[in-house]
Amino acid sequence: MLYLLGFLFATIFLLVLGINVWVLIDTLLTIDVPSSIPNPMKFRILHYCFQLTTTWGNILEKMNICSMPQFSRFVQDCLVLKNNLGVFVKDLHFGTVPVRLFYPKAASSKPRRGIVFFHGGGGVIGSLDCYHNLCTFLARETDSVLVSVGYRKLPYYHHPSLYYDCLNASIHFLKSLKAYGVDPSRVVFCGDSIGGAAVVVVIQTLLGRTDIPKIRAQVLIYPILQAFYFQSPSRLTNINIPLLTKDFMISCFFKYLAIDSSWKDAILTGACIPPSAWKKYEKWLSPDNIPKKFRTEYQPPESPVPFNEAAYLETKHIMNVDISPLIADDKVIAQLPEAFLVSLHWDIIRDDVLLYKKRLEDQGVPVTWQHVEDGFHGCILFFDKKSFSFPCSLKILNAVVNYIRDL
């Protein structure tokens, strides 16, 4: 009996060790670490831990123990030591949507600014707990009442659950500003990654409504603003740069949008885009709209690929504005509030920000732009992680704080 137990433990140990070593080797061989990112070894270790978490999540999912998103979020949340310094925190529900309210402890003689925050994570990872300290920092440093929305995610919920939750929570908050001591003329919507996309979609949806206050500003931190054009410079050159590599991004897209992986090549090559649609979207998405300094290593495709009608019919929803708000009509873009945009040089979705910036400016919408040369996707979450923090993390948060304070 002891022999069998020893053999079992030895087998499990070797299996665990083998998987961990395989992930390490794969990480060393496949990722690129740009020279402008400080502490490259720390960056590699960070990506290794992230890759190890998602790999074990995928293994547990195949074993029907738990899903990869659930395991990844569990690990993320376990690593957070919540900090409530300077704020009161309360968990609530706006209707059926869980939210977390952050309210500054300092007294105020007048209504405060309000911030509606949508977290990132591709609909796969991220949570109220994971973003708790970031929201505490924003609420305290900007002296704002902040509500963080805990929208539904994978594995049980796909698009448009995230969008509906963010929309419904936003409407509830905007109709209750007086109860939370918020000035209705100073409400800011803020989000990172897919949360940034939710900000744009929600604001576009609320345009023209007279029963709620107008949004003062949109703060978008490396947002994902379109899900069908993968041939822009950053989406072709930054494919192996953590934490958002091309493989992980595509995996998140396909799971969140419920698209079969067999259509991957058609989406990546643009074969799913009808020529008539591209004729309309090209004026907004063309790489020519991106400044030359961001196209130095870009090699455009030699020729368009043949249109695949079957792929289009299966994936055409990715061209809807509730998934790709970057392609909303000019009359919609012109009505949007002023924006603070954060782009990262080494981010695979960097060009979404650059193209959105041009669209806003072309329609006369004021834009403040913060471009971070040493930034990488997801970096703001490490602003308080001490030994695993990066200069770009606090740089971005301080820029966001300064912008919101000045509104």
343-382: per-residue pLDDT in tens? 999 999 999 999 999 999 999 999 999 999 999 999 999 9
- Tell me what pLDDT residue 13 has: 72
Residue 128 has pLDDT above 90, yes or no: yes
Active-site position among 165, 347, 351, 352: 347
Please report which confidence band the pLDDT of residue 2 belongs to, taking 50, 70 and 90 as the band edges.
Answer: low
Percent above pLDDT 70 for the chain:
98
Residue 3 has pLDDT above 80, yes or no: no
Residue 193, exposed/middle/buried by CB under 10 A (0-12, 13-18, 19+)?
buried
First-residue to last-residue Cα distance in the chain? 71
Which residue type sits at 130?
Answer: C
d(CA 47, CA 242): 6
Please report which confidence band the pLDDT of residue 299 belongs to, taking 50, 70 and 90 as the band edges.
Answer: confident
Name which residue leads in pLDDT, 216 or 20: 216
Please report which confidence band the pLDDT of residue 167 belongs to, taking 50, 70 and 90 as the band edges.
Answer: very high
Please report which confidence band the pLDDT of residue 7 belongs to, taking 50, 70 and 90 as the band edges.
Answer: low
Q: Is 193 a catalytic residue?
A: yes
- Tell me what pLDDT residue 297 has: 80
Most confident of 3-12, 71-80, 181-190: 181-190
Average pLDDT, the chain: 94
Q: Is 347 a catalytic residue?
A: yes
Kindly report the pTM of this predicted structure.
0.95
Which residue type sits at 204?
Answer: Q
Residue 18 has pLDDT above 90, yes or no: no
Burial track 287-325 (b if 16+ CB lie within 10 A, e otherwise): bebbeeebbeebeeeeeeeebbeebbebbebbbebbbbb
Average pLDDT rounded to a whole number, residues 250-274: 94
Average pLDDT rounded to a whole number, residues 205-233: 96
Average pLDDT rounded to a whole number, residues 156-183: 97
Active-site position among 72, 127, 193, 343: 193
Compute how many other C-beta atoms are within 10 angstroms of the C-beta atom of residue 170: 26
**Tens digit of pLDDT for each residue in 29-74?**
889 998 888 889 999 999 999 999 999 999 999 999 999 999 999 9
Most confident of 3-12, 102-111, 134-143: 134-143
Active-site position among 72, 192, 377, 393: 377
Please count the residues of the chain.
407
- Tell me what pLDDT residue 14 has: 76
Residue 1 has pLDDT above 70, yes or no: no
Give yes or no for a contact between 68 and 54, defined as CB atoms under 8 angstroms apart: yes
